[in-house]
């Protein structure tokens, strides 16, 4: 029984250590628009760590995210893609071709996932 518990704990921790290739970043760029934007004033950095990290960073870029082999990592971890998808589902009018418009502290940003 203990072996099963250890194995399950390892499966939960292991994906965060897997990663290959160049990282993806969630980037934000201030924009001027009258279009719909998702209000992210009251969102937690625990729920949207990539988005809030990008907004609060000096360069408008979140910490990097590397995909895992065979897509396995994505099943177990939170990704910047999840954040953009969640916001576009919550506020479909805020969706853009490459990302989503968000509003925080009176500023509107275009947020998208990029791989430089």
Provide the domain limits for residue 30.
2-114
Q: What pLDDT is stored for residue 7 in this prediction?
A: 55
Whether pLDDT at 110 is above 60: yes
Task: Give the pLDDT score at 69.
Answer: 63
| Count of structural domains within the chain | 1
- The two three-digit tokens of residue 20, written as one number: 């290959």
Collect contacts of 9-13 with beta carbons under 8 A, ≥24 apart.
11/76, 12/76
20-42 pLDDT tens trace: 578 999 999 999 999 999 999 99
* pLDDT at residue number 77: 76
pLDDT of residue 73: 46
Query: How does pLDDT run across 58-103, given as a tens digit for each residue?
Result: 999 999 988 766 554 455 578 999 999 999 999 999 999 999 999 9
- Going from the C-alpha of 56 to that of each of 11, 45, 63, 81, the distances in angstroms are 31, 10, 11, 19
């Amino acid at each position: 029984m203990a072996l099963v518990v250890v194995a399950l704990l390892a499966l939960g921790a292991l994906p965060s250590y897997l990663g290959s290739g160049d990282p993806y970043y969630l980037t934000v760029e201030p924009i001027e628009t009258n279009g719909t934007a998702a209000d992210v004033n009251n969102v937690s950095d625990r729920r949207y760590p990539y988005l809030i990290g990008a907004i609060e960073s000096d360069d408008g870029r979140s910490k990097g995210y590397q995909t895992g082999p065979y897509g396995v990592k994505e099943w177990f971890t939170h990704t910047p893609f999840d954040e953009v998808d969640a916001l576009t589902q919550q506020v479909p009018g805020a969706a853009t071709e490459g990302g989503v418009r968000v509003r925080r502290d009176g500023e509107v940003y275009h947020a998208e996932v990029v791989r430089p």
